[in-house]
Amino acid sequence: MLKLKPNCECCDRDLPPESVDARICTFECTFCASCAEGVLGGVCPNCGGNFAPRPIRPAAMLAKYPASSERVRKEKCG
């Protein structure tokens, strides 16, 4: 199950579970669309993989399986 991390690992922008701007790689590294497409050029700096839009968990399932509150931030991005 996806963790639904709460922020962009690059700019630290908030990415709530319902955000359509969240992008993830196959290892669930999480970035905002602006950083993923612009700063990072579509390539994850952690694993070298590509990004896809993060799915939005339905509200009923979010209540049962809440999003992570653990913020992750890269020291150097891009």
pTM: 0.93
Domain count, the chain: 1
Do residues 24 and 52 touch, judged by C-beta distance below 8 A?
Answer: yes
pLDDT tens digits, one per residue of 9-66: 999 999 999 999 999 999 999 999 999 999 999 999 999 999 999 999 999 999 999 9
Token reading at 43:
């390539």
pLDDT at 2: 95
Whole-number Å distance between alpha carbons of 65 and 22: 18
| Structural domain includes residue 36 | yes
- Is 8 within the bounds of a domain? yes
Q: What are the structure tokens assigned to 78, written together?
A: 């891009």
Q: What is the pLDDT of residue 76?
A: 83
pLDDT of residue 77: 84
CATH code where residue 47 lies: 3.30.40
